[in-house]
Structure 1
């Protein structure tokens, strides 16, 4: 590139023109069964996106699902089809450096499809960071933290196994805060399991109870006091998304903070749920918000009303986790840390250089772009061949 400011800008527009976008389905095995209220997974599904620019730089992105279109409406099959047929054609030939314009073009090409869009957006940011030789967070405003308190999810449903698993996380110095998945058994069984875990964990351990939309308002009224007695620090999305009135009533009577998750994807949903006071904490995930910049906008709406931030995950590999960490690192506050534990639940991570978990924190990767490099052999090993 030349040295004149105007010429530099013109060169950047030309050199970062998008030459090709590809999407592959990855099915990576997990170290144990991961249960939610409506499904369970032993293999994690990803859409793995590569963006090739005219300057030859390649950026990588990832979108994650849980057991198909059960957590949200997208499946890996739908993501690949919509990327190939609609989202990629809308971006080919456009400058990758115009990230906001790319988001608008994708929004015109397809409604919602937030996970697919976020995977492309992540790959564009990775490619642009590599082109400019800066970490991705610099293009999002710059990091205000380089390490984030990490949360591990216990979700096998077997209390004895989960106690051993939690102890292993503590012994390795990886995690000392835990989220307990509830909602896939009857409340009495779930709460007995939670009680066993609470008894086994060190006194004062931060425990998040994720009901995964599994209870009714009546069950919440009955069992919230039990969660309080068990020392739960935070309750995530106890009832179905969209039940705004009921959610507000539950939040009003709960002595434990309620976290909004599935109820908030868009800016409009963030405004509605925050104003209705359905929770005082918000779980942020790229698969819900569609792009790294949109995640920051959603966080801003919530923060303006005093809502606290929690860095959510959907079992991403180090690729998707790195994308999340780069944007989480730029948020003015991230009061509850992050549960970006996905790389540690995979039998094999998808990168050559996995994220670093140390001192009960996950550390922001260094280097240009996302700061992680996909392992082509592992990608090929777990890529769907049909």
Structure 2
């Protein structure tokens, strides 16, 4: 008898049933505007943006949806690799396990895709883990916060991503954000040299309200010496955090920078697995930990990472991966559970549309309400998902 059958979950809902089917859909979503980071383009206006949606179904019909964002300019996972990883490795490992057993799923994923230096294939893994959480909440008839027994916030303030390469363009972008109700701003740097990056951030400070929170993200673009010079340039501008200034695996460099930087150093790409955060805490190489659901392989591991940060007194900030509405909802549930009270970078709505979402997250005046309906709180129109699907592997969708 399988281990998962020895202690069945009582109750009538379908989470007690084994997983019967895992389906992947590569969907082409409309791009609202272009978005670039140090590694390259994230979205291009007028060109569809690919997202991988995963549907997990348990015996009896209970189901849930998850999402992964293929982003080669940010990580090493592509649309093709995410689809094949889910279809050929994670799905076979999950089939037959009870849908409620997130711990068993986590261990099965570890066996299917080895961790190596850190977690393996986190984006692909996230899509399946997110779908399992959605399934559990839907089956129980409660939102994730109720399922977890912790929900400290009902809404979160969003940060506006500033675009533009000239002071005039930056001013226009800040004005657009202000008109939409945003009062916090995030600036991507690392593309224009130290002088150009400083001018970009200075222009944001000039056009934003005096008390507006502003933080910067270099996406691993600097060396230690350049990052330290930039930190000293940024400090007089009242920057709240300097996100991922160095390569993710530069442990020694990040410790050196954190010791000398006048601006708090926040880690994103460095923190795939909770164990990564534990290493940086032991080395005293982190001021702020960025919670990011997709980067950390889903909600199961993200909750562990956030709990570790909370216990160790490391400040938490929240970020996304230009998610569509499923990923947006998952992040809101996580950040609300841990009471993140600073503006968060959940910028999907700024750059892409989610036409598959029938009922979804409410965003008004630069604030996002945490969903209060079952599961993630996003109702997916599967017909639209199939209409938007593309064949990234030259296979039949």
Shared fold (TM-score greater than 0.5)? yes
- Whole-angstrom CA distance in 2 between matches of 1:57 and 1:212: 39
What is the aligned partner in structure 1 of residue 53 from structure 2?
Answer: 48
What is the aligned partner in structure 2 of residue 372 from structure 1?
Answer: 378
SS at match of 2:34: strand
- Whole-angstrom CA distance in 1 between matches of 2:169 and 2:60: 50
For residue 356 of structure 1, the aligned residue among 359, 362, 373 is: 362
SS at match of 2:373: coil
For residue 166 of structure 1, the aligned residue among 174, 181, 187 is: 174
What is the aligned partner in structure 2 of residue 16 from structure 1?
Answer: 17
- Whole-angstrom CA distance in 1 between matches of 2:209 and 2:331: 29
- Whole-angstrom CA distance in 2 between matches of 1:208 and 1:384: 36
Deviations 1:37-90 (A, max 9, x none): 111132433210011122212211001132x2x422211211110111111111
- Whole-angstrom CA distance in 2 between matches of 1:157 and 1:347: 24
- Whole-angstrom CA distance in 2 between matches of 1:357 and 1:210: 23
Q: Which moved more, 1:333-342 or 1:108-117?
A: 333-342
Deviations 1:169-222 (A, max 9, x none): 22222x211100001222211211222221111111111011111111111232
Q: Is the 8 A contact 1:35 1:184 kept in 2?
A: no
What is the aligned partner in structure 1 of residue 190 from structure 2?
Answer: 183
Shift of 1:234: 1.2
Q: Give unmatched runs, 5+ long, in structure 2.
A: 1-6, 115-119
What is the aligned partner in structure 1 of residue 231 from structure 2?
Answer: 224
- Whole-angstrom CA distance in 2 between matches of 1:376 and 1:21: 14
Q: Is the 8 A contact 1:284 1:309 kept in 2?
A: yes
- Whole-angstrom CA distance in 2 between matches of 1:349 and 1:14: 28
Shift of 1:359: 4.3
Equivalenced residues, count = 377
In the alignment, structure 1 residue 96 sits paired with structure 2 residue 96? no
- Whole-angstrom CA distance in 1 between matches of 2:278 and 2:337: 21
- Whole-angstrom CA distance in 1 between matches of 2:31 and 2:168: 19
5 Å-filtered alignment, 1:84-123, equals 84-111=87-114, 112-123=120-131
Shift of 1:10: 7.1
Change (3 A) 1:8 1:261: closer
For residue 264 of structure 1, the aligned residue among 271, 275, 292 is: 271
What is the aligned partner in structure 2 of residue 320 from structure 1?
Answer: 327
- Whole-angstrom CA distance in 1 between matches of 2:304 and 2:209: 37
- Whole-angstrom CA distance in 2 between matches of 1:11 and 1:195: 58
Change (3 A) 1:369 1:10: closer
Shift of 1:317: 0.7
What is the aligned partner in structure 2 of residue 62 from structure 1?
Answer: 67
What is the aligned partner in structure 2 of residue 3 from structure 1?
Answer: none
- Whole-angstrom CA distance in 2 between matches of 1:186 and 1:139: 47
5 Å-filtered alignment, 1:270-289, equals 270-289=277-296
Q: Which moved more, 1:7-16 or 1:72-81?
A: 7-16
Q: Is the 8 A contact 1:140 1:327 kept in 2?
A: no
TM-score normalised over the length of structure 1: 0.91
Shift of 1:11: 5.4
- Whole-angstrom CA distance in 1 between matches of 2:169 and 2:375: 38
Shift of 1:336: 2.5
Deviations 1:296-341 (A, max 9, x none): 111222222221011111000111111111122211x414242112
SS at match of 2:185: strand
In the alignment, structure 1 residue 209 sits paired with structure 2 residue 212? no
In the alignment, structure 1 residue 80 sits paired with structure 2 residue 79? no
- Whole-angstrom CA distance in 1 between matches of 2:367 and 2:278: 31
What is the aligned partner in structure 1 of residue 37 from structure 2?
Answer: 36
Q: Give unmatched runs, 5+ long, in structure 1.
A: 1-5
What is the aligned partner in structure 1 of residue 154 from structure 2?
Answer: 146
For residue 257 of structure 2, the aligned residue among 237, 245, 250 is: 250
Q: Is the 8 A contact 1:90 1:106 kept in 2?
A: yes
Q: Is the 8 A contact 1:150 1:340 kept in 2?
A: yes
